[in-house]
């Protein structure tokens, strides 16, 4: 295993990505925060806003409070120099209804921590959850 210039052994991508998926599935913002660098930036295409670590972890807490369960399927992951791309379907359960949200994450990693994540979600699907 050879580290690249970002300090990331490419086989570590799966460990980081699996850890992120597990934390979101569990609704565990503390566990998610362990995968983030302190100065991480998380951007979403649906609002164009860049979140810091604290804001993003609060958004997971809000999602966990609104849903009874979260899970992922159809995960496809591709490594690149300094990070990875993950496509997936997130399944959300609100108790009285469920929804599927296709997504794509582009993640940059340095020294085993996420330094930036760009998350692409279907805004029309998100809007349909409110109906």
pLDDT tens, residue by residue, 62-104? 999 999 999 999 999 999 989 999 999 999 999 999 999 999 9
Q: Rounded distance, CA 114 to CA 94, Å?
A: 29
Q: Rounded distance, CA 123 to CA 57, Å?
A: 21
**Domains identified in the chain and CATH numbers:** 12-128 (3.10.450.50)
What letters, b where the CB count within 10 A reaches 16 and e where it falls short, cover 73-83?
A: eeeebebeebb
Q: Is the pLDDT of residue 8 over 60?
A: no
pLDDT at 131: 56
User: Across the chain, what does the average pLDDT equal?
Assistant: 90
pLDDT at 2: 37
């Amino acid at each position: 295993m050879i580290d690249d210039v970002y300090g990331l052994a490419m086989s570590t991508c799966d460990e980081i990505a699996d850890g992120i998926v597990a934390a979101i599935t569990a609704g565990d913002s503390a566990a998610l925060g362990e995968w983030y660098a302190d100065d991480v930036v998380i951007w979403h295409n649906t609002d164009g806003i860049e979140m810091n670590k604290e804001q993003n972890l609060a958004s997971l807490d809000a999602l966990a409070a609104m849903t009874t369960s979260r899970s992922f399927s159809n995960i496809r992951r591709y490594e690149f120099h300094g990070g990875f791309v993950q496509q997936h379907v997130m399944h959300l359960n609100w108790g009285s209804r469920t929804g599927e949200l296709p997504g794509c994450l582009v993640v940059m990693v340095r020294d085993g921590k996420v330094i930036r994540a760009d998350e692409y979600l279907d805004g029309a699907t998100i809007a349909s959850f409110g109906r």
